[in-house]
Structure 1
Amino acid sequence: MDNQSTKTMSSKAANTLSYIGLEAESTKKTVEALQQLLADYQIFYANLRGFHWHVQGKQFFTLHVQLEKMYNEAAEIVDVIAERILSLGGTPENNFSAYLKTAKIKEISDVTSGEDIINQTLDAFKILIEQERNIIELADEANDEGTSDILTGFLKEQEKMTWMMCAYLKK
């Protein structure tokens, strides 16, 4: 992790943790994993915007609308992740240059085929779901039910969306 993700906590953040009953040391791994998830979600969001703009073909009307819904939801999730990092005493990264250095999801350009867009999105969901499950485990170890609950909600919706996309691809 870079310096951004391992910044020391301010006394205000330490106070927040004491009020919510968590310890800085026990949440450190969770914060680092949330930083990774934030980077990947930011790239995922940008990819969804590009897919929305560039989709072509017979599936245009369906996918154009669905992709807009998905990138709006991704933007909300990005905000929730960043705010959770702050709640746990971290400082969320906010530079795309830093995201690109650590993200497991890579930038995707010039994809116009609906099928390719769905497959790329499914690949991204696979990465996000794996990370979210890992964060739930880390949060559980730290007795951080708040983070577990947030990530469980993300996971539930992504599993459902994955099922729907797989069904959409069936011929």
Structure 2
Amino acid sequence: MSKSILGLDKKESANLVDNLNGLLSNFQIYYQNLRGLHWNIKGKNFFELHVKFEEFYTDSQVKIDDIAERILTLQGKPLHTFTDYIDNSSVPVGKDISEDVEAVNLVVNSLSELLKIEREILDLSDEANDEGTNSMMSDFIAEQEKTIWMLNSWLGK
């Protein structure tokens, strides 16, 4: 078993890098969806949602950078083209959404998809004894679960 400079198994780290690049791709699609929702939202909830979507995309921007830097820390290379992001994502793409309920549902569905990916990475990072990635995923998961609860409350679910 070959170890990296971080003391982690190189094969397990390479697998984590691949999965983190998938998460990075999905976050980039999620981020762009949020920008579109922020720009295009209309109706009686405009002011509330316009601000909320900006809060979400600002937070996503930080997470995107954190994921890319974790990939680099694990001695990998973060994906950085839109082609790569589209090819490696499962988060739904939201186009021309301006209605409040549809917009919030897109965010909830996107976060649900991100949670699936993050939980897979959490399991892999646990098996690899990669506390840095594990901690990051735990933080993301806890925050996103709360956001889903709050958005579902807004939706009346």
TM range (shorter): over 0.9
Query: Runs ≥4 in structure 1, deviation > 6 angstroms?
Result: none
Show the 5 A alignment for 1:104-119.
Answer: 104-119=90-105
Shift of 1:23: 2.3
TM-score (structure 1 length as normaliser): 0.88
Work out the number of aligned pairs and report it.
156
Q: Is the 8 A contact 2:125 2:134 kept in 1?
A: yes
Partner of 1:150: 136
Contact map agreement 1:122 1:162 (CA 8 A) in 2: yes
**Alpha-carbon distance between aligned partners in 2 of 1:65 and 1:26, rounded to the nearest angstrom:** 40
In structure 2, the partner of 1:40 is 26
CA offsets, 1:76-135, max 9 Å, x none?
Answer: 000000000000111001001111112111322110011000101111011100000000
Q: Does 1:99 align with 2:81?
A: no
CA-CA distance at 1:29 after TM superposition: 1.5
| Amino acid in the other structure paired with 2:129 | N
Aligned partner (choices 49, 54, 70) of residue 35 of structure 2: 49
What TM-score, normalized to structure 2? 0.95
1:139 aligns with 2:138: no
Residues 37 and 53, structure 2, Cα contact 8 Å, conserved in 1:
yes
Unaligned runs of 5+ in 1: 1-13
